[in-house]
Amino acid sequence: MADFAKLNLTLYETSKKIAEKSNEIESARLEYLTEKDEYERDYSMALLTTKTKNPDMTQTDIKAEAVCQVYNKKLAMRTVEAKYRRLMSELKALNTMLESLTEVSYNLRQELKSMPKTY
């Protein structure tokens, strides 16, 4: 019976962690999408201003200059993206763990049902 109680506690704690990670993922996803949009906007603006200021530059040089101008923004975006992807992996692992625990719980309940009752 103690094993069953421990298992139920583990199931509860895992479900709670999944709920917490789900909330964190939503925040991380929003942060990632915001950083990505800002990076793309800044990159586009850098392309436009570089092309306007230097009409004689080749397209390759314009792109290189724009990349240099927004490099730090791209690094920030990559950092936020990594956080988001890490949280997604953690959530996937927790869901897999929950599935396994649910199966073990089911098997334990079946064993308890088949055991003779002692009064």
Residue 107 is assigned to a structural domain of this protein? yes
Asked whether residue 119 is domain-assigned, the answer is no
Closest C-alpha among 27, 25, 7 to residue 17 = 25
Asked whether residue 6 is domain-assigned, the answer is yes
Query: What tokens does 6 get?
Result: 């421990």
DSSP characters over 43-111 = HHHHHHHHHHH-TTS-HHHHHHHHHHHTHHHHHHHHHHHHHHHHHHHHHHHHHHHHHHHHHHHHHHHHH
Is it the case that residue 111 has pLDDT exceeding 70? yes
In a domain, 62, yes or no: yes
Q: Confirm whether 29 is domain-assigned.
A: yes
Over residues 6-37, the pLDDT tens digits come to: 888 888 899 899 999 999 999 999 999 999 99
Tokens of 22: 């789900």
29-67: pLDDT as tens digits: 999 999 999 999 999 999 999 999 999 999 999 999 999
| Phi/psi of residue 55, nearest 5 degrees | -65, -20
Q: Write down the pTM of the prediction.
A: 0.75
The reply to whether 44 falls in a domain is: yes
Between residues 82 and 5, which one has the greater pLDDT?
Answer: 82
* Residue range of the domain that includes 88: 2-113
Backbone angles phi, psi at 116, to 5 degrees: -70, 140
Number of domains composing the chain: 1
